[in-house]
Chains A and B, each alone.
Chain A
Amino acid sequence: MGFPERTAFFKGNGYMKKLYSNKLTTFLFLLPALILFIGILVAPIFMSGYYSLFDWKGYGPKTFIGLDNYKELFTSENIGFMKAFGNACLLAVLSVLLQLPLALFLALLLGSGRKGERGFLSIYFMPVLISTVVIGQLWLKIYNPSYGVLNVALRALGLDNLTRLWLGDEKTALWAAFVPTLWQYVGYHMLLLYAGIKSVPPEYREAAMIDGANESQVNRFIVLPYIKPILRISTIFAVTGSFKSFDLIYVLTNGGPNHSTEVPSTLMISMLFLRNRYGMGSAIAFVLILLCFAAALIINFIFKEREGKPKCKTETE
């Protein structure tokens, strides 16, 4: 929809032009939003950056230590940030390679006009609406070594040797924690992509069909290029969402066993509230913000490189 120049509207009505040029009124209308926005979103970023330069327990005196927190963050093994960051990257990669293709596949199946598509769509989107705590608690119970559905089912099938401690074993915990994370948001990405697919003008599709294209050819040559802007947004959400992921990991493992499922945000929370290292916690927060911005920029760049001209009506700035 862009941002049209308003001046054109004010032709011939001097009084209204005067009304809508009043600086004070403009400012008053913006003021509440500015206070909220600067106070809660913008200022804290700078404060996090500032705190990250100190050794601080959250109470008592702050000691200025320059970039030492960052040095320790990237080198110290007992902090384990690189491991947590690696886990987040793995989650991001899995999101892009598994979650998005699955979402796209489902969206294409539904978007090409099948009976019951709305019903399926609504079911697939449902997990997005359920609180992550509930999802996490459910999966905790699914994974429970003694009574969980997963092990019970394996035992019932006579596959006793495949039963695992799932979330308790360092070898399986990371994968077990990622499964619900990836699963919950398939429906979200699918919905976005489905909306994009539905906005493909039917004539394009029909023209291609008349030329003898089959469903997969239509998808490949008509639909995919058309929904590229949405794919870009989905990718940004999937990657930044992976870097930020907290809720499910917190509920399922809280970073354990032995930090094998630690992600940056669980690490940040344990730095802050278990180890009383506010400076270090702030450093992690600050690195996370930079990571998210960087990821968004890089993904935008990659998609721009490959994009000829935007074919979708949604905004592509």
Chain B
Amino acid sequence: MQDGNRVKSPFNGKKFTKETLVYLLLAFWALINLFPVYWMFTFSLKSNNEIFGENVIGLPKEWLWSNYSKALQVGNIGRYFLNSVIIAVVTIALVMAVALMATFALTRFMWKGRKMMNDFFMLGLTIPIHASIVPIYVTLSKLHMLSTYSSLIIPYAAFSLAMAILICTGFMQEIPIELDEAACIDGCGTWRIFFKIIVPLMKPAVATVSIYTFLQCWNELMFANIFVSDKAHKTLPVGVQALSGQYLTEWGPVGAAMVLATFPMLVFYIFFSKKIQDSFIAGAVKG
């Protein structure tokens, strides 16, 4: 349903007022969603005097970019940003590799228990992340792996796996089996079919899974807070939280850190909103 005008209330006389009301409602809710972001952006550029009285919600009178340099230097936000990127990228790569292989076995191979194995993986969709916190923490500390990138990458990958397999299954089932047959006739083995035929055709799935996984790791707080305690490996959410503790009475730099943590995502969202929304829909609706 592309055109917006097709379905309208048949009560033509009332149409104007009713539609106006609907749009007022929609605009009101949009305002509630936009205001915090607007406010965050403006106070990230203000001094305490402006935030605390002179100019609570207006645009900054004096644009205080020094808040940003404070967030980067004192708050170490640049480093945390990099850490978050590294962790997200490695997690995505790991999840993709593991999920593609597992999905290949689940959709192409003939073996008893295929469906059961699939159900087993799908259980992962309902297991809360909390379930594993104590055992993972204890294990990581025994292995002296706390405060490393892997202490977050491995759990993040494991918890994104079920969704990745779910999404990949949908896409892989749509790749015609005739392609495998043709490759077979050419003398390819399973591994070559996998790498030459299947993986290149899974690009849309890679995009969907990557977006989903990225958002999961980018925003995760509980594991990041507990498994990593040294400055060199902390992630962005933990860094923002720590900075707010440090700058309780000066809001500007905290706002700056929050903007730095949020805006790259929002810019990306502006360009790829459909794709990002689809990855959430794919995840939920098929589950």
**A interface vs B, CB < 8 Å?**
1, 3-4, 6-7, 9-10, 13, 15-17, 19-23, 25-26, 29-30, 32-34, 36-37, 39-41, 43-45, 47-48, 51, 58, 106, 109-110, 112-118, 120-135, 137-142, 146-147, 149, 152, 183, 187-188, 191-192, 195-196, 198, 202, 205, 209, 212, 214-215, 230, 233-234, 237, 240, 243-244, 246-247, 250-251, 265, 268-269, 272-273, 278, 281-282, 285-286, 288-289, 292-293, 296, 314-315
- A162 → chain B closest CB, angstroms: 17
Interface residues of B in 218-242 (CB under 8 A from A): 218-219, 221-222, 226, 236-238, 240-241
On whether the beta carbons of B240 and A131 are closer than 8 Å, the reply is yes
The reply to whether A138 and B280 form a contact with Cβ atoms under 8 Å apart is no
Residues of B within 8 A of A281 (CB): 133-134
Residue B189 lies at the interface, judged by CB distance under 8 Å to chain A: yes
**B225 → A minimal CB distance (Å):** 8
B36 CB, min distance to chain A CBs, angstroms: 5
A159 to chain B, nearest CB (A): 16
Looking at the assembled complex, report how far the CB atom of A297 sits from the nearest CB atom of chain B, in whole angstroms: 10
Known A16-B184, A123-B33; judge A26-B105 contact (CB<8 A): yes
Given contacts A48-B132, A196-B285, are A138 and B26 in contact (CB under 8 A)?
A: no
B39 x A58 contact (CB < 8 A): no
- For the complex, give the distance between the alpha carbons of A144 and B57 in Å: 15
B269 touches A138 (CB 8 A): no
From known contacts A37-B124, A129-B276, A134-B262, infer whether A1 and B102 are also in contact, taking CB-CB under 8 Å.
Answer: no
Q: Are B130 and A246 in contact (CB under 8 A)?
A: yes
Task: Name the B residues within 8 Å of A149 (CB-CB).
Answer: 39, 56-57
Residues of B within 8 A of A41 (CB): 124, 127, 131-132, 158-159
Cα A237 to Cα B262 in complex, Å, equals 25
Q: A21-B111, A36-B161, A230-B285 are in contact. List 17 more A-B contacts (CB 8 A).
A: A6-B109, A20-B110, A29-B102, A41-B127, A44-B136, A120-B30, A130-B262, A131-B218, A131-B236, A131-B237, A131-B261, A133-B219, A133-B241, A134-B237, A147-B53, A288-B131, A314-B286
Q: Does B82 contact A (CB under 8 A)?
A: no
Q: Is B244 engaged at the interface, CB distance under 8 Å to the other chain? A: yes
Q: Which residues of A contact B102 (CB under 8 A)?
A: 29-30, 32-34
The 5 closest A-B pairs by CB, nearest first: A40-B158, A44-B132, A33-B102, A29-B105, A44-B135
Q: A48-B131, A187-B33, A288-B130 given as contacts; is B111 within 8 A of A138 (CB)?
A: no
Q: Please indicate the chain A residues that have their CB under 8 angstroms from the CB of B57 in the complex.
A: 149
Tell me, rounded to whole Å, the shortest Cβ–Cβ distance linking A205 to chain B: 7
Q: Within the complex, what minimum Cβ distance (angstroms) separates B172 from chain A?
A: 11
With contacts A29-B105, A192-B281 taken as known, whether A147 is within 8 angstroms of B121 at the C-beta atoms is no
> Across the two chains, which residue of chain A brings its CB closest to B136?
A44
> Is the Cβ of B105 less than 8 Å from the Cβ of A289?
no
Q: B284 is contacted by which of A112, A192, A268 (Cβ under 8 Å)?
A: A192
A268 to B130, CA, bound (A): 9
**Taking the complex as formed, is B77 at the interface, i.e. its CB lies under 8 A from any CB of chain A?**
no
Interface size on B, residues (CB 8 A): 110
CB-CB under 8 A from A121, the residues of chain B are: 277
Shortest A255–chain B CB gap in Å is 14
Residues of B within 8 A of A131 (CB): 218-219, 221, 236-237, 240, 261-262
Inter-chain contacts of B159 with A (CB < 8 A): 40-41
Contact status of A192 and B101, CB under 8 A, knowing A37-B121, A244-B130, A246-B130:
no
**Contact partners of B266 in chain A: CB under 8 A:** 126, 129-130
Partner of B131, one of A44, A109, A133: A44
Contact B118 A3 (CB under 8 A): yes
Q: Is B51 an interface residue (CB 8 A)?
A: yes
Report the separation of the CA atoms of residues A49 and B141 in the bound assembly, to the nearest whole angstrom: 19
Q: With the chains together, A60 CA to B237 CA distance in Å? A: 32
Q: B207 an interface residue at 8 Å Cβ cutoff?
A: no
Instruction: Say yes or no: B99 contacts A1, CB within 8 Å.
Output: no
| Nearest chain A residue, comparing its CB with the CB of B215 | A129
The distance in angstroms between the C-alpha atoms of A119 and B12, with both chains bound, is 25
Query: What CA separation (Å) do A59 and B196 show in the bound complex?
Result: 50
